[in-house]
Structure 1
Amino acid sequence: MNSSARQFTPLFRLRARRCSTHVLLLAVLFLLAGGVAHAQGAHVAMILSREGRIHLEAQRGFEERLAQASDAQVRLSVIKLDNSGALPRSYVDGQDYTLAVAVGARATEAALRENDFAPVLSLLVPEVTIERLTESNPDVGVGTSLDNFSAIYLDQPSDRLFSVIGKIIPEARRIGVVLGTRGLPRLFELKPVARAHGFKLNVAVIHDPEDAAAQITDLVAESDVILAVYDPVIMNNRTARWLLYTAFQQRKPVIGFSQAFVRAGALASIYSTPEMIGRQGAELLLDMIKGRGWQGGKRYYPRQFTIEFNRRLARSLRFHIPSVETLKKYYKGYVHD
């Protein structure tokens, strides 16, 4: 090899290294610029229906999840509704919010009615209530057009409910459900999912809560297990007590939708805590900040959930129920004690 060839090789390598270094520097600068944009963060208004325990738990879950995201800068302003249930003037005047997080039905209704400059994410509201609120507020402002309104339901997805029932009570074949007229749209979702899990769905549609007792008694007699579905009109304290009493008399298990339900006499409840839903809401915000886009117009079911048992009742009814550890094998990462 001649001398010119020997000199060419290292010169080429040097230029290649310089070129690679320049490309690397440009890439780093690009990433840093993107990081700065993301680090600018967001100003979030958290609107509380009231300072109740569940609302504050959702707020805590939201804040704790944000605190874990060291690369996100979020300024959180907690807004309380005034005595009339309206947004205060301090909120309306501060129109620089990236997102309004409405916690509870009253806050969601106020955000739909009065907010017209920020996307809205609703937390802790059942599906049937969300549908009622969006139907009754067709002329919402630009900020909360239904394309810019999202919600994480309080309810559990139907597939999860029937899957867990199959694990808890594998011998069950007939599942009874009590619904009011507002809950009828969900019936069209429940039936095919129940069928896919091998269940026959018995349904009692209650038009008047005052006449619910006879229908509930017949439903319990015709079912192996009762699935209590949230309904703000039908599933009141009186109806719930009668359902639990009748089921106990006939030695039929009830699967509830809240911690209060299982403590009142249901065999088990499948529910998501306010803190879990608050954390999920914060994760949607973090996606928004990191440039993954605002998923406006979407409805979400809770990702995390807990299963709570009334083991004393299980012993009384002679039901063998699996441990939470066993259920975690089926729902890894999603079942919480």
Structure 2
Amino acid sequence: MLKRPVRKQGIFATLSTTGLLVLSLLMCPVTQADILLLLSSDASYYLETADSLQDTVNKTLPGNPGFSIINLHKTKLPEHQDPHYQLIVAIGSYATREVVNWGGDIPVLSIFTPKNAYESAWSTHDKAPARQASAIFLDQPLSRVITLASLLKPEATRFSTIFGPVSRGLEAELETLTAERGLVLKHGYLDREDNPLSVLRPVVSGTDLFIALPDQAVLNRAIAKWILHLSFQQKVPVIGFSKAYTVAGALASIFSSPDDIGRQAGEHISQWLRNPESTLGKPQYPRYFSISTNPAIARSLGISLPSDSTLYTSIQKQEQAVK
């Protein structure tokens, strides 16, 4: 069983801790494992996700299984899968694509992967997976994002957003959710060749709050740069999808950290292993999440900002009430 050093909190672990994690991962023998953790790379957030998952399983499952790790940044997948594996956990989009192409019939749980990336990986497969396959997505459910926005600015009735090539698939759901709450959604579309400022300016104008949706990396950067600029000019708060968004000038962001995803995955795996006749279940959104707020931005916008913990509890209560 792999023993790990004490986990550091946050997505940016210290270099020394990351070095120890990488060393421990590479030393674990593949052939002695019950569960294979397949990492997309040695990025700190993948390492921390794997660390949190193992810690949770070790705490929640007596006689816990052993773990083996393959880091795809350093090691290629072997030609044949070891039949000793009970489960393959693909951490990240690249690992998910690789395990789909790898084939086989060992159950697969994909984690720390956006919903669209998971669905895209399986859609390129010749057939629907004959084996069990499920996921814990990286994205937040849109209902959770809207709830946070409404908690931060209860009087807001006009929301705005921009859809890119990836997030365009969320348009119908977001329109339905906002309409159900009596909100007006003003939106636009942005592609790589478009001028972000010319697209964003008319969308933001006359609205109460902007919701940033994750899309292609190049569009994420472009939208973040200009929407935060317009937000400052027009006094329109922004809800982001990462802590970096908050630091850069968003009023708040909601996201699931590596620790959040790893914890949920570990609990899910433990429950599955306790019930040999059960399946991995349907793909699901993160149960655990984190909120970061920017008090300086709140003051500049004249918004009374609840504590992060208060916001978290309020969202949890609302979600439990609709179950």
Bin of the TM-score, shorter chain as denominator length: 0.7 to 0.9
- CA shift, 1:107, in A, is 0.5
- Say if 2:127 is the partner of 1:129: no
Shift of 1:184: 2.2
Indicate the SS of the match to 2:214. Answer: coil
Q: Distance in 1 between matches of 2:68 and 2:243?
A: 30
Instruction: Pick closer, same or farther for the CA change 1:126–1:332 going to 2, 3 Å.
Output: closer
Aligned to 2:202: 218
How many equivalent pairs are there? 287
Partner of 2:94: 106
Paired position in structure 2 for 1:270: 254
Segment of structure 1 superposing worse, 318-327 or 251-260:
318-327
Partner Cα separation in structure 1 for residue 318 and residue 244 of structure 2: 21
The answer on whether the counterparts of 2:37 and 2:70 sit within 8 Å (CA) in structure 1 is yes
Determine which of 93, 105, 108 is the counterpart of 1:120.
108
What TM-score comes out, normalization by structure 2 length? 0.82
Contact 1:80 1:88 in 2 (8 A): no
Name the structure 2 match of 1:176. Answer: 160
Report the CA distance between 1:117 and its aligned residue: 2.6
Q: Which 5+ residue runs of structure 2 have no aligned equivalent?
A: 1-32
Q: 1:234 to 1:131 in 2, by over 3 A?
A: farther
Distance 1:209 1:275, change over 3 A: farther
For 1:273 and 1:209, how far apart are their aligned partners in 2? 32
Q: For each residue in 1:188-217, what CA deviation from the matched residue of structure 2 results, as whole angstroms up to 9, or x when unmatched? A: 111111122221111212233533321111
1:279 pairs with 254, 263, 279, which one?
263
Equivalent residue of 1:74, what SS?
coil
Map 1:299-318 onto structure 2 (within 5 A). Answer: 299-318=283-302
Cα pair distance change 1:108/1:334, threshold 3 Å: farther
Q: In structure 1, the residue corresponding to 2:139 is in which secondary structure?
A: coil
Aligned-partner residue type, residue 79 of structure 1: I
- Any conservation in 2 of the 1:176–1:202 contact (CA below 8 Å)? yes
SS of 2:145's partner is helix
Matches within 5 A, 1:133-144: 133-139=121-127, 142-143=130-131
Q: 1:118 aligns to what SS in structure 2?
A: coil
- Counterparts in 2 of 1:174-253, with a 5 A limit? 174-232=158-216, 235-253=219-237
Structure 1 residues 178, 72: closer, same or farther in 2, change over 3 A?
farther
Deviation at 1:297, TM superposition (A): 6.2
Partner of 1:47: 38
Question: What RMSD over aligned residues (CA atoms) do the two structures have, in Å?
Answer: 2.3
Task: Give a deviation string over 1:77-115, Cα, whole Å, max 9, x none.
Answer: 0111156xx8422x7342321111001111011011113
- 8 Å CA contact 2:291–2:312 kept in 1: the answer is no
1:57 aligns with 2:57: no
Aligned to 2:57: 66
Structure 2 equivalent of residue 9 of structure 1: none
Letter in 1 for 2:160: G
Cα distance change, pair 283–325 in 1 and its aligned pair in 2 (3 A): closer
Following superposition, the deviation at residue 258 of structure 1 comes to 0.6
Which SS does the other structure have where 2:195 is aligned? helix
Deviation at 1:285, TM superposition (A): 1.0
Match of 1:298 in 2: 282
Structure 1, unpaired ranges of 5+:
1-41
Normalised to the residue count of structure 1, the TM-score between the two structures is 0.79
Instruction: Look up the equivalent residue of 2:58 and give its one-letter code.
Output: A
Structure 1 distance, partners of 2:318, 2:64, is: 28
CA distance in 2, matches of 1:262, 1:142: 42
| % identical equivalent positions | 30
Indicate how the Cα distance of structure 1 residues 254 and 122 shifts in structure 2: closer, same or farther if over 3 A, else same.
Answer: same
Alpha-carbon separation, structure 1, partners of 2:213 and 2:127: 30
Amino acid at match of 2:107: P
Alpha carbons 1:152, 1:299 under 8 Å: kept: yes
Counterpart of 1:330 in structure 2 is 314
1:321: which partner in 2?
A: 305
Q: Distance in 2 between the 1:186 and 1:138 partners?
A: 25
SS of the residue 1:319 aligns to = coil
Amino acid at match of 2:88: A
Shift of 1:73: 1.9
